[in-house]
Amino acid sequence: MKKIIYFCVLALAITLVNCGDKNSDPEPAKTLNKSLITDKKWVYGTISHYFRTDGRFGSATGVGLGKWYWINDSDSLMKDYDDNVLKDEVWYVEYVTDSEMKAKWTKKGSWDIFIKQ
């Protein structure tokens, strides 16, 4: 009798393991691919930014607001405004994909998802 119960439990366990959804592909990990941040318009609500490959940021049409660069090859990005009116910003970037970027403006700020447009 114990052999029959053991066999039934084993068969049930094998069945449950094999019944998993085999058609669902796991979502690829979102990583900080720094090369994907440039030459795209990134939008979050009414806020938009365009980081150019020449190290300037501003608009896609060429109007520049200042320089941008990665700080010490880290996940921190400096936005250095040309004028002395706007305060320079440090952005913390968690990931950049081909279509979205997750970033925040201050260490204590909330993470925002910017969408490529």
Residue 36: alpha-carbon gap to chain centroid:
10
Give me the residue spans of the domains in the chain.
34-116
Residue range 57-113, pLDDT digits in tens? 987 676 788 999 999 999 999 999 998 788 899 999 999 999 999 999 888 889 999
pTM to 2 decimal places = 0.71
